[in-house]
Amino acid sequence: MIRRSSYLNHVHVGDGTTLLFSGISLCVDLVPRDYWDSMRKDDFSFLTREEKEHLLNRGHLTNLTRAKELEAFKRQARYIYAKNTEITKKQRRASLCFILTYRCNLACAYCYQKTAYCKSPGPPLSEKQVEEILTKYLPEMFPGVPKKNLSFLLFGGEPLLPANRKSIVRILRYARQHSVNVIASTNAIHVPEMIEFFGREYGKIQEVQVTLDGDRAFHDTQRIPVSGEPTFDRIISAIRMLKKTKASVLLRIHTHPHRMKSTQRLAEFLQQQKIVGDNVKMYFSPLNDFQKCNREDMHAFKRIFERISQRTHIPPSSNLTFLKRLLEMQESKIFLKTRYCTVGSNSFRIIDPRGDIYDCYEEVGDRRRRIAAIADGKLKYTPLRKTYARRTLLNMPICLKCSFALFCGGGCAIRARKQTGSIFHPYCHQNKEYIRDTLKMYYLLGRTANLDFVKKT
């Protein structure tokens, strides 16, 4: 008995063809769209014997029962998890994020740092604390990781406030001495006063992420200080300065519910002004769920996504570049996701001025959610560290049945907890749409470049 695989996914390319991509065999095939239209109705009568065999071999069709296929998928997920763990151990890489301060010069309406402590924070991370972290606690946090395999993130609040200058200088000196990459996530307001910190070489901030909320009119209602003063023009001017430093600049564009036109105008502005390109790239980060969007919003989003991909040759989604490799894959290789992000992976830590250590950005400042703390000169872990380590697909029964599981990894743990009470529940957000749209764009871009990497049925 042949049926459609429970792990079969598809995306329409838009020219009468459809990409089938399997979440279990990881095979990608291009078929005429009417093939898919019949297949989704479980009608396989139009297929020749060879075609049926081909689709069976590629994992799009199966003769396994649902229960047996689920067992096969669990075996596959366990194998990939073991391989990912082995690769991570071999690579011996780690990142430390410094919360230089919880203070911020802006007061964005949607900011997630809303704990009482974040609103009324204590002193920033001092130069002395930075010194201690670098010399004493860093090796303890990441045992066996060579210094050159480290990367540092500067985060806040707003990390580039003038009061943090000395601590930043100390971090950059260490980075120069030990060839450590440094990344900063900033609102860019103080960039002009700190522009000498940015550049390509070690000892500089080599990568910087700056957020925009839409075109000038909308952005200036969102990303503003308490006084309400506009920031769009200041941020754009800072981005132009950053571009000249040759540091890699990542523009994180928040997409808001029912504000797609504003996103579109911003994307056009960034392109017309030649801000995007060379060392400046952009990606979309949704503050909205498609579930809450109307059809018009969704179509507008897809159009913008496509247009930007075509103009910049990179789909504007974050952490999905592995989908390009999925298309290029000649034989199976292991690179898929059994975790959504670094939470629980032991290769990423966030440290704040109180000596509290967290796994997730959205939990910083909430001491109940710390995974370790420095007290009396010692680093002590809390039970939460082990709970987070278990947040993999293997412990998420709903995700194990999802055809996107190995491309998604289970979604954001913290939003899942906030929404459902458990980190072991899925948080689908817009993950499926992003995966579909990104894969489609990589396919179209590859086809434009005459790469014939998808096997045609």
Locate 7 and state its tokens: 């792990």
**x-or-dash string of contact with ligand SF4, 352-391, rule CB under 6 A:** --------xxx-----------------------------
Locate 163 and state its tokens: 């009061």
CA distances from 340 to 13, 351, 380 (A): 26, 21, 26
Residue matched to tokens 């309406």: 109
167 binds ligand SF4 (CB under 6 A): no
Choose between 6 and 126: whose C-beta lies nearer to ligand SF4. Answer: 6
The window from 96-104, 208-216, 339-347, 439-447 that contacts ligand SF4 (CB under 6 A) reads: 339-347
Q: How far apart are the first and last CA of the chain?
A: 21
Contacts (Cβ under 8 Å, ≥6 apart) of 321 = none
Q: Which of 399, 439, 445, 454 binds ligand SF4 (CB under 6 A)?
A: 399
Contacts (Cβ under 8 Å, ≥6 apart) of 132 = none
Contacts (Cβ under 8 Å, ≥6 apart) of 376 = none
Contacting ligand SF4 within 425-444 (CB under 6 A): 426-428, 431-432
Closest approach of Cβ 412 to ligand SF4, in Å? 3
408 binds ligand SF4 (CB under 6 A): yes
User: H helices of 246-352, where?
Assistant: 260-272, 295-312, 322-328
Residue matched to tokens 């066996």: 144
Locate 193 and state its tokens: 């006063």
Locate 89 and state its tokens: 């151990």
The window from 33-41, 206-214, 217-225, 413-421 that contacts ligand SF4 (CB under 6 A) reads: 413-421
412 binds ligand SF4 (CB under 6 A): yes
Cα–Cα distance, 418 to 428 (Å, whole number)? 13
Closest approach of Cβ 433 to ligand SF4, in Å? 10
Choose between 142 and 404: whose C-beta lies nearer to ligand SF4. Answer: 404
Closest approach of Cβ 451 to ligand SF4, in Å? 28
Closest approach of Cβ 426 to ligand SF4, in Å? 3
Closest approach of Cβ 435 to ligand SF4, in Å? 8
Locate 419 and state its tokens: 């929404």
Are the C-beta atoms of 138 and 96 separated by less than 8 Å? yes
Choose between 19 and 445: whose C-beta lies nearer to ligand SF4. Answer: 19
11 binds ligand SF4 (CB under 6 A): no
Half-sphere exposure (CA, 13 Å, Cβ side) for 140?
15
Are the C-beta atoms of 159 and 186 separated by less than 8 Å? yes
Closest CA to 444 of 267, 306, 303: 306
Q: Which of 343, 351, 441, 444 binds ligand SF4 (CB under 6 A)?
A: 343
Residue matched to tokens 């749409």: 433
Q: How many residues make contact with ligand SF4 (CB under 6 A)? A: 23
Report residue 144 CA to chain centroid gap.
Answer: 26
Closest CA to 312 of 263, 260, 275: 275
Q: Which of 189, 374, 402, 441 binds ligand SF4 (CB under 6 A)?
A: 402
410 binds ligand SF4 (CB under 6 A): yes
Q: Which of 405, 439, 441, 454 binds ligand SF4 (CB under 6 A)?
A: 405
118 binds ligand SF4 (CB under 6 A): no
The window from 203-211, 216-224, 401-409, 442-450 that contacts ligand SF4 (CB under 6 A) reads: 401-409
Are the C-beta atoms of 257 and 292 separated by less than 8 Å? yes
Q: Which of 36, 137, 404, 442 binds ligand SF4 (CB under 6 A)?
A: 404
Choose between 213 and 359: whose C-beta lies nearer to ligand SF4. Answer: 359
Q: Which of 414, 439, 444, 454 binds ligand SF4 (CB under 6 A)?
A: 414
Helix (H) or strand (E) holding 84: helix 66-91
Locate 437 and state its tokens: 């749209």
341 binds ligand SF4 (CB under 6 A): yes
Tell me which residues touch ligand SF4 (CB under 6 A): 340-341, 343, 360-362, 398-399, 402, 404-405, 408, 410-415, 426-428, 431-432
